[in-house]
């Protein structure tokens, strides 16, 4: 019995389905119960949160968590499906501190909001950037420029006239 089925037995109400992602056990979780499931996952010994991925499937968002257990040397994949209009899911920062930046990055580039995150701001792009680049509907034709404000922080605008030499 792999970790996915174990999880399904422990929390049958929260787990939608189980499967395999190549060779890794995969669990599809209800988004409301993610925190509860994650706590259980950590209790099961999956102490390493490898990566948090957000994917835009046009009609929905998927957030995928890859776990690894140092003790049992096993993999586990959690997946939640979010609706496209208001993608929101609970934050795992309280369980894994490493989730902090990974979730911020997902918020920055994909635009998934993590409720309960202590500091959900943009991390790679400057604050004020319009749109989330990894969404499929991101408008690549709009050029955005960054300038430095009085306090040394970034200001984003579509007007590059005080940055560029040639207008």
Partner 1 sequence: METEELLINMGPVHPSTHGVLRFKLRMDGEIIKECTVVMGYLHRGTEKLAEMKTYLQFIPYTDRLDYISAMPNNYAYVKAVEELAGIEVPLRAEYIRVLTVELNRIVNHLVFMGSLLLDLGASTAIMYGFREREKALQLYEMLCGARMTFSYFRIGGVRDDLPDDFMSKLNEFIKDMEKRIEDYKGLINGNEIFMMRMKGIGVISAEEAINYGMTGPSLRGSGVNYDIRKIEPYSIYPDLDFKACVRPECDSYARYMVRIDEMEESLHILRQIADTIPKSEVVATQKYGIAPLTGMPYTAQTYFPRIFIPPAGEAYSRIEAPKGELGFYVVSDGTTKPYRVKIRSPSFCNLTAIPKMVVGLKIPDLIAAFGTIDVVLGDVDR
Partner 2 sequence: MDPVTIDTTKFRPVRKKPETALEKLEDTGLISTVLAARERKGLIFLTTVDQVFNWARLSSLWPVTSGLACCAIEMMAVAMAHHDIARFGMEIFRASPRQADLMFVAGTVTKRMAPRVKQLYEMMPDPKWVISVGSCANTGGPYHESYAVLRGVDNIIPVDVYIPGCPPRPEAWLYGVLQLREKIKNEGYGAKWGLNK
Residue nearer to partner 1 on the CB measure, 64 or 82 = 64
101 touching partner 1, by CB under 8 A = yes
89 has which bridge partners? 114
With CB under 8 A as the contact rule, the residue among 111, 113, 138, 145 that binds partner 1 is 138
With CB under 8 A as the contact rule, the residue among 10, 16, 18, 24 that binds partner 1 is 24
Q: What's the min distance (Å) between Cβ of 56 and partner 2?
A: 15
Q: Count of alpha carbons within 13 Å of 46, Cβ hemisphere only?
A: 25
With CB under 8 A as the contact rule, the residue among 3, 27, 89, 99 that binds partner 1 is 99
State how beta strands 154-157 and 145-148 pair: antiparallel
Give contact residues for partner 2 (rule: CB under 8 A).
125-126, 133, 138, 140, 144-148, 154, 163-166
- Of residues 50, 64, 49, the one with CA closest to residue 95: 49
Q: What's the min distance (Å) between Cβ of 167 and partner 1?
A: 25
Contact residues for 16 (Cβ-Cβ < 8 A; gap 6+): 28, 29, 30
Contact residues for 87 (Cβ-Cβ < 8 A; gap 6+): 54, 61, 110, 111, 112, 113
Q: What's the min distance (Å) between Cβ of 157 and partner 2?
A: 11
């Amino acid at each position: 019995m792999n970790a996915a089925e174990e999880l399904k037995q422990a929390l049958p109400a929260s787990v939608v389905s189980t499967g395999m992602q190549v060779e890794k056990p995969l669990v599809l979780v209800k988004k409301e119960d993610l925190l509860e499931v994650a706590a259980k996952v950590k209790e099961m010994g999956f102490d390493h949160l490898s990566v948090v991925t957000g994917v835009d499937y046009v009609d929905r968002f998927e957030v995928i968590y890859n776990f690894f257990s140092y003790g049992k040397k096993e993999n586990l994949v959690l997946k939640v499906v979010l609706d496209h209009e208001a993608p929101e899911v609970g934050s795992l920062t309280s369980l894994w501190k490493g989730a902090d930046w990974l979730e911020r990055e997902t918020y920055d580039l994909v635009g998934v909001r993590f409720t309960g995150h202590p500091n959900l701001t943009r991390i790679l792009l400057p604050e004020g950037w319009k749109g989330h680049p990894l969404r499929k509907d991101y408008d690549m034709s709009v050029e955005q420029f960054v300038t430095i404000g009085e306090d040394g922080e970034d200001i984003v605008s579509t007007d590059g006239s005080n940055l560029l030499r040639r207008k």
